[in-house]
Amino acid sequence: MKTRLSEIITQRGLERRKIAKDLHIERRTFDNYVNEVTLMNSDIIARLAKYLHVSTDYLLGVDQLDDAFLNEKIDNICNELKEIIFHINIKE
């Protein structure tokens, strides 16, 4: 889990301190989870998956795709394209 969790944190430019604070977890405890010093219980895994918008399976390394995050990014891109097209149509 360390690799997947570390990857998500790094890829998204997240701060461990903020994640720990938002999830009401001591920073040291969260670092121990990330570094696999301490195993997470199912409640922490579920809360962390929800916070990161990934499935628990993805977080645990069972699924390969981060579907929720990818879908959110695709939706954002689609919305941005709609705005661009709208503004182009206004200028014409």
Furthest-apart CA atoms within the chain: distance in Å? 60
Q: What is the pLDDT of residue 65?
A: 60
The whole-angstrom separation of Cα 76 and Cα 53 is: 15
Q: How would you classify residue 54: left for phi > 0, otherwise alpha for psi between -120 and 50, otherwise beta?
A: beta
Q: What is the pLDDT of residue 68?
A: 67
* Per-residue tens of pLDDT for the chain, all 92 residues: 457 888 889 888 999 999 999 999 999 999 999 988 888 999 999 999 999 988 888 888 887 665 667 777 788 898 899 888 888 887 76
CB 58 within 8 A of CB 66: yes
